[in-house]
Structure 1
């Protein structure tokens, strides 16, 4: 085993994925998170496993990444995935040219897509609105973040990684123009963890971690609300087939659906107003596709914060919904500071790919010439739901995104 030690800061999808990838290549890894694993953006998402269809007409590269990772996750993490179908629904007041453009782009990118009429899907989704004109069927799905994060972390540990939730970083250690570790808070006070390389995978909080080393990572966090309502047995993900806007996704769970979302810029990912209008807007807009959710009981409401990268947002001039890529920032080349790499942007569907890119970079720094194996080896707990539930409890990984699904699976 290589003697180099990597410290990963952040226990969301990308952080645990990076820890797993590095550990599988023989690198000594420690992962720390300030709370339970997945307690940031990952566990407060809507949990949509993208097929790429949402981005096909505007970002073909991002869409291709999504369909490729969609297939990989179904292979290696099927026990963390639900649903295998999504509808893009064109309503009477939606632009039919947009539907046609998306369909053509999906087919060009080999994203499976077929067109059905409302009558043809009536048995599958009997409550679909009468305003539906056309439906595009694509292989969207549902990621259960609690299971995914816990199973990935447990897999990383099986390969030798140390996983430490509830160990917030209080400072990065900088010596001779290099980051050499971090001071973390523990139940007994503080502890110093020295490392040959630190990976900043703190998502929307990446800028705060970078500040500890006096380098700038400009984040542009945006909050979005998710509303879980009582509506059992929806078999498909519903997407409104229009340019991305508030309340255009309905994600099914066993006894509920999650309605999402809004996008509002915030200054602080920890301090923002949870506004009632966002909840009402989501319910109202999602009910355009599935009318019964307008009167369904609200089971829980939660907000997530997207880890948007400032320079990328500046180039997009605030346009919403265009697929965001991810960025691996090498602070040695960028800032003259060795020993620190930051990963920002991306989406939950592409977390494994992001982790692979980070691990490639870190292994290059370490001189480790071992290929990535994460697309081929199943995650921990495949075929053993009880083991995954135990890992969720151990890593404090229960998330609001899927707490209903976790309750039902634990009985």
Structure 2
């Protein structure tokens, strides 16, 4: 099999890369070892971040989130719910941290509103009496499954080929260049490509190793607990340094409570403890007491693809959520690029940067169109739900 670009990984970033390249007229094939969104994308908490979560600790990443939040509101409306979000200062929380958060958001040019506890509870009656004040921010909720399917639909309509249940088995490197990739499963053949994109998320380190190059990762696991929604209709964030159980995300079916952050050695094999789940529920109940008494709808675990070349000894929460784009030519694997890190909110920006690099290498003179071109389903979200089975999507996040 022959293609110009082979993309490895069917999460939001990989499918986003395939779409971007196809819209520029590049012949692109995507392979995914399981179902689309079957890794980090489909096991996220589904927040379209405003950037407020990272504003004081990582303003560059926060600015990227805010910019992409605004873009996706325009081009991916069929995948979003305009819930808004709040950062909550509870009795005993550091008021100075709240002020730093508010000031950092203002520095980004983000519109915010500060509410006292009573005014906030008038908007969100389920909130705890312990909420002293709240910072309203432009968070939203995104459906990972719809987002991936929308990108896949547009990619396919632009000429991309997408294969699920097609694991990469090996790479052939000769004369300092990746020449071919052996793909099993539904493909069952060797794929020759001018360029290969490693968008394998927390498995990116393993994928790169097939070509003899290094991508130092520090993946962390996080648990999400979906309970019957007691009536929450906005994203609730605890206004404190990121910790376990500090976010509640409303979906049409449930309220998703998250999350934890524990480093793992193997993104396929890690501990899933009941204690972590109980801790999340207890902590989120501090913001919204009713969630503690609601039946559990489902529990799922995701693994964050954190790129950490110099961070091996640090807490995973301290590692930047920004993304890295790595060209492996200097390591003797020309034609291979890795895109890793980031988050669901910035997937389009990650895909654009990757496609820009590849088009430069391939002498393709075509601009990115994804910041202005609406995704399929923007005016008909049910079209995306109909397409889920056709594309084989695995996204417990919704």
CA contact (8 A) 1:222 1:264 kept: yes
Task: Please say if residues 228 and 296 of structure 2, whose CA atoms lie closer than 8 Å, have aligned partners that are also in contact.
Answer: yes
Partner of 1:365: 361
Looking at structure 2, the residues matched to 398 and 267 of structure 1 have their Cα atoms a distance apart, in angstroms, of: 23
- Secondary structure, counterpart of 1:281 in structure 2: helix
Q: 2:307 aligns with which of 306, 309, 312?
A: 309
| 2:291 paired residue among 266, 290, 293 | 293
Residue of structure 2 equivalent to 1:127: 126
Question: How much has 1:4 moved relative to structure 2?
Answer: 7.0
Please give the per-residue CA displacement for 1:86-108, whole angstroms capped at 9, x wherever unaligned: 01000011000000001011011
**Is residue 8–residue 199 contact of structure 1 (8 Å, CA) maintained in 2?**
yes
Please list, as runs of the form range in 1=range in 2, the aligned pairs for 1:335-374 lying within 5 A after superposition.
Answer: 335-374=331-370
Conservation of the 8 A alpha-carbon contact between 1:7 and 1:181: no
Q: Indicate the SS of the match to 2:188.
A: strand
Q: Which aligned segments of 4 or more residues in structure 1 are displaced greater than 6 angstroms?
A: none
Correspondence 1:226-237 to 2 at 5 A: 226-237=224-235
Query: Given the alignment, which residue of 366, 372, 384 partners 2:380?
Result: 384
**1:329 alignment counterpart:** 326
Superposed counterparts of 1:9-408, under 5 Å: 9-187=8-186, 190-314=188-312, 317-318=314-315, 320=317, 323-333=320-330, 335-402=331-398
What are the ranges of 5 or more consecutive residues in structure 2 without an aligned counterpart? none
Q: Cα RMSD (Å) of the superposition?
A: 1.5
Deviates more, 1:173-182 or 1:111-120: 173-182
Quote how far apart the aligned CAs of 1:63 are. Answer: 0.7
CA contact (8 A) 2:28 2:160 kept: yes
For structure 1, list consecutive stretches of 5 or more residues without a partner in the other structure: 403-411
The corresponding residue for 1:405 is none
Which whole-Å CA distance do the structure 2 matches of 1:322 and 1:169 have between them?
Answer: 28
2:137 and 2:318 map into 1 onto residues whose CA distance is 18
Mapped contact 2:230–2:294 kept (Cα < 8 A): no
Distance (whole Å) between structure 2 residues aligned to residue 286 and residue 323 of structure 1: 24
Please report how far the alpha carbon of residue 398 of structure 1 lies from its aligned counterpart in structure 2 after TM superposition.
Answer: 3.8
Is the 8 Å Cα contact of residues 308 and 319 (structure 2) preserved in structure 1?
Answer: no
CA distance, structure 1, for counterparts of residue 3 and residue 300 of structure 2: 40
Give SS of 2:214's match.
coil
8 A contact 1:4–1:27 mirrored in 2 = no
Q: Equivalent residue of 1:74, what SS?
A: helix
Question: Structure 2 CA distance, aligned partners of 1:324 and 1:98?
Answer: 20
Higher mean alpha-carbon deviation, 107-116 vs 239-248, is at 107-116
Secondary structure at 2:301 match in 1: strand
Cα offset for 1:362? Answer: 0.5
Aligned residues: 397
1:117 and 1:255 map into 2 onto residues whose CA distance is 29
Conservation of the 8 A alpha-carbon contact between 1:8 and 1:201: yes
Contact 1:332 1:339 in 2 (8 A): yes
SS of 1:186 mapped into structure 2? coil
The offset of 1:216, in angstroms, is: 1.3
Post-superposition offset of 1:168 = 1.0
Cα contact 1:224–1:303 (8 A) shared by 2:
yes
The TM-score normalised by the length of structure 2 is 0.97
Supply the distance in 1 between the matched residues of 2:174 and 2:319 (Cα, whole angstroms).
40
On the 8 A contact 2:3/2:192 being kept in 1, the answer is no
**CA-CA distance at 1:349 after TM superposition:** 0.4
